[in-house]
């Protein structure tokens, strides 16, 4: 098999960890596999570099920031190559540009245009181990670019696709995706196989194991991902096509794969604004321009020609969004703006929902029995999300996890 192994910051966080990572690479080579490696910067390094730039200047040029932070991954790639060479392995470091990553020119948040895998494929066929810097590439003019925080996951998946790998192993400090947060539900189970689409829902709900873009990319090219721990040699979670998700001993798949939550949410309501075409665009335009991500949205018709719009934003953007809304409300002669930052979001996720009616009703029943009031609801084909008071979040997660049969025996 041809495998791309990606190691995150903690897996290359010290010389000792680098040696341990080399053990993992070596073991996989011994099994007869061809290996290309993608590394992150040593943990904390990217933050350290960015902080230095900001000490010099409040708004450092994005081009120079990229040149600066790209060094983090060069350090860990070179160190890992040195360690592997010392063991007699033909391993060579490659920067993003050397490895064939071409991106657009949007510094600090570049997108990959294409990866020319010919060069590295030749190295792999010669039995070598390319060690590639994650997170970076070059634009068409040769400027160094980076892919946004957490970008080396996306580098790894893109490389796996470019060299026709059979799969991409993502090594991190957790050993997979769980049916919910084990800190809240000790009986949460590790999910053996999960569909790309489910993984996207988990990722966008704040399961910070993978950059969301990397899952989108893997899904588009059907590249299997194995999320696993570099600390413990156990099988992790496979992220695969929906058709390839099958529980080993059950004929049918469970309806719900997991319960996710996010406390980092705030709710804002703008009341008594004119109910007319273009009003939603007017409300959300300035929010989007500020780069704030709006999530759940509910619009209600109130009295005679007026409407209320309620929506959620990340807690960190709450104050700024409140200011934007107050200004807008005044301009539109609206009635009032109301905010609440002690809310949270809980979701049940599962591709099994597509073929099972009534999941939403079951979820609402369970929450009602516990006396949890639902403030907002939103659904997709494979997810139902409700907004509730933050103080009930643990109760909600625990009861939903058990009601949907996810607790381990
Ligand atoms: N080192 C980069 C970061 O911290 C990229 C990565 O680790 O994925 O964001
Ligand atoms: Mg990461």
Question: pLDDT digits over 258-284, tens only?
Answer: 999 999 999 999 999 999 899 999 999
From 42, 151, 156, 172, the mutation candidate for ligand 1 (largest count of ligand atoms within 8 A of CB) is: 151
Can you name the residues that pair with 386 across neighbouring β-strands?
A: 346, 377
Residue 189 lies inside a defined structural domain of this protein: no
The answer to the question of residue 313 being in a domain is yes
- CB of 150 within 6 A of ligand 1: the answer is yes
Note the pLDDT of residue 250. 58
pTM of the model: 0.88
For the CA of 135, the nearest atom of ligand 1: 5
239, β-bridge pairs? 194, 225
10 shares its domain with 153: yes
136-138 and 258-274 strand pairing? unpaired
Query: pLDDT category, 393, cuts 50, 70, 90?
Result: very high
CA separation for the pair 77, 83 (Å, rounded): 10
Quick one: pLDDT at residue 247?
Answer: 57
Q: Do 275 and 159 have their domain in common?
A: no
The best mutation among 135, 146, 203, 213 to test binding of ligand 1, ranked by most ligand atoms within 8 Å of the C-beta, falls on 135
Q: What are 11-47's pLDDT values in tens digits?
A: 999 999 999 999 999 999 999 999 999 999 999 999 9
Query: Both 165 and 280 in a single domain?
Result: no
CA of 146 to the centre of ligand 2 (A): 14
Query: For residue 302, how far is its CA from the centre of ligand 1 (angstroms)?
Result: 47
> Over 70: is that where the pLDDT of 252 sits?
no
User: Of the residues 134, 137, 213, which should be mutated to test ligand 1's pocket, given the most ligand atoms within 8 Å of the CB?
Assistant: 134
The rounded Å distance from CA 88 to ligand 1 centre is 29
Indicate whether 135 and 263 sit together in one domain.
no
Residue 232 lies in a domain: no
Tokens at residue 167, please?
A: 């799969």
* Ligand 1 pocket member 46 (CB < 6 A): yes
Pair of tokens at residue 110: 């570049």
Report the pLDDT value the prediction gives residue 10, as an integer from 0 to 100: 95
- For residue 225, what pLDDT is reported? 97
CATH classification of the domain holding 49: 3.40.1160.10
Residue ID of nearest Cα to ligand 1 atom 9: 149
In a domain, 264, yes or no: yes
- Average pLDDT score over residue span 189-198: 93
Which comes out higher in pLDDT, residue 304 or 69?
69
pLDDT at 47: 97
Closest CA to 144 of 93, 94, 101: 101
Q: From the CA of 135, how far away is ligand 1's center (Å)?
A: 6
Domain that holds residue 51: 2-173
Task: Based on the fold, state whether residues 169 and 275 are members of the same structural domain.
Answer: no
pLDDT above 70 covers what percent of the chain?
A: 97
Residues 21 and 169 in one domain: yes
Claim to verify: residue 119 and residue 263 sit in the same structural domain: no
Supply the pLDDT for residue 207: 60
Q: Which ligand minimizes its atom distance to the CA of 155? A: 1
Confidence bin at 110 (pLDDT 50/70/90): very high
Closest atom of ligand 1 to 47 CA is 4
- Can you tell me which atom of ligand 1 is nearest the CA of 153? 8
**Residues 152 and 266 both lie in one domain:** no
154 & 264 share domain: no
Among 10, 11, 41, 72, name the best residue to mutate to test ligand 1's pocket (greatest count of ligand atoms within 8 A of Cβ): 41
Q: How far is the CA of 211 from the centre of ligand 2 (A)?
A: 7
- The domain boundary residue, chosen from 173, 197, 224: 173
Q: Which ligand is nearest to the CA of 209?
A: 2
- Percent pLDDT > 90 in the chain is 87
d(CA 81, CA 258): 39
141 and 20 co-located in one domain: yes
Each residue's pLDDT tens digit, 200-238:
988 876 667 788 899 999 999 999 999 999 999 899 999
Who has greater pLDDT, 282 or 245? Answer: 282
Contact 89, 26 (CB under 8 A): yes
Residue closest via CA to ligand 1's atom 6 equals 150
Specify whether 398 is located in the same domain as 290. Answer: yes
What is the per-residue pLDDT for 291?
Answer: 86
Q: Any idea what the CATH number is for the domain that residue 283 is in?
A: 3.30.2130.10
Q: Give the count of domains, the chain.
A: 2
User: 149 in ligand 1 pocket by Cβ < 6 Å?
Assistant: yes
Asked whether the predicted pLDDT for residue 251 surpasses 60, the reply is: no
Phi, psi of 186 (to 5 degrees): -60, -20
Task: Flag whether 48 is in a domain.
Answer: yes
Distance CA 26, CA 28 (A): 5
- Domain annotation covers residue 63: yes
* pLDDT bucket at 253, cuts 50 / 70 / 90: low
The DSSP letter of residue 190 is B
Closest ligand by atom to 172 CA: 2
Domain boundary among 143, 173, 203: 173
Over residues 76-105, the mean pLDDT reads 98
Number of Cβ within 10 Å of residue 380's Cβ equals: 12
**Residue 49's pLDDT band (boundaries 50, 70, 90)?**
very high
Confidence label for 103 from pLDDT (cuts 50, 70 and 90): very high
Going by alpha carbons, the residue nearest to atom 5 of ligand 1 is 150
Query: Is any atom of ligand 1 closer than 6 Å to the C-beta of 72?
Result: yes
Residue 121 covered by a domain: yes
| Atom number in ligand 1 closest to CA 151 | 8
Is 385 a domain residue? yes
For the Cβ of 9 lying below 6 angstroms from any atom of ligand 1, the answer is yes
Cα 136 to ligand 2 centroid, rounded to whole Å:
14
pLDDT of 118 reads 95
- Cβ of 308: how many Cβ atoms within 10 Å? 19
CA of 211 to the centre of ligand 1 (A): 10
Confidence at residue 209, expressed as pLDDT on a 0 to 100 scale: 79
Last residue of a domain, one of 140, 173, 206: 173
Check whether residue 11 and residue 160 sit in a common domain. Answer: yes
Element (H, E) at 157: helix 152-162
Ligand 2 centre and the CA of 135: distance in Å? 10
Q: How far apart are CA 261 and CA 73, in angstroms?
A: 32
> What is the chain's mean pLDDT, rounded?
94
């Amino acid at each position: 098999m041809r495998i791309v192994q990606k190691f995150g910051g903690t897996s290359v966080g010290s010389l000792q960890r680098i040696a341990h990572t080399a053990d993992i690479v070596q073991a996989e080579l011994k099994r007869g596999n061809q290996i290309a490696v993608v590394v992150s910067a040593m943990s904390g390094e990217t933050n350290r570099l960015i902080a230095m730039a900001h000490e010099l200047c409040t708004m450092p040029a994005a081009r120079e920031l990229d040149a600066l932070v790209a060094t983090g991954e060069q350090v860990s790639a070179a160190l890992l190559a040195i360690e592997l060479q010392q063991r007699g392995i033909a391993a060579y470091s490659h920067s993003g540009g050397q490895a064939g990553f071409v991106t657009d020119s949007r510094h600090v948040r570049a997108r990959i245009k294409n990866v020319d895998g010919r060069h590295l494929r030749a190295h792999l066929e010669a039995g070598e181990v390319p060690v590639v810097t994650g997170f970076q590439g070059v634009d068409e003019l040769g400027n160094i670019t980076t892919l946004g925080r957490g970008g080396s996951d996306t580098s790894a998946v893109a490389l796996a696709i470019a060299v026709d790998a059979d799969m991409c192993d993502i090594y991190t400090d957790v050993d997979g995706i769980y049916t919910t947060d084990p800190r809240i539900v000790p009986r949460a189970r590790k999910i053996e196989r999960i569909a790309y689409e489910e993984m996207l829902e988990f990722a966008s709900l704040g399961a910070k194991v993978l950059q969301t873009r990397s899952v989108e990319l893997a899904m588009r090219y059907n590249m299997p991902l194995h999320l696993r721990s570099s600390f413990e040699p156990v099988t992790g979670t496979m992220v695969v096509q929906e058709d390839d998700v099958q529980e080993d001993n059950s004929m049918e798949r469970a309806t719900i794969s997991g319960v996710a939550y996010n406390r980092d949410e705030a709710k804002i309501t703008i009341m008594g604004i004119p109910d007319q075409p273009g009003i939603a665009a007017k409300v959300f335009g300035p929010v989007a321009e500020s780069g704030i991500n709006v999530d759940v949205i509910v619009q209600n018709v109130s009295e005679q020609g007026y409407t209320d719009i309620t929506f959620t934003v990340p807690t960190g953007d709450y104050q700024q969004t409140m200011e934007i809304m107050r200004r807008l409300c005044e301009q539109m002669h609206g009635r009032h703006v109301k905010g609440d930052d002690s809310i949270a979001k809980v979701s049940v996720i599962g591709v099994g929902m597509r073929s099972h009616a009534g999941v939403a009703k079951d979820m609402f029943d369970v929450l009602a029995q516990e006396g949890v009031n639902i403030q907002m609801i939103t659904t997709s084909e494979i997810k139902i999300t409700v907004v509730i008071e933050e103080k009930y979040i643990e109760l909600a997660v625990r009861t939903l996890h058990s009601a949907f049969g996810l607790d381990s025996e």
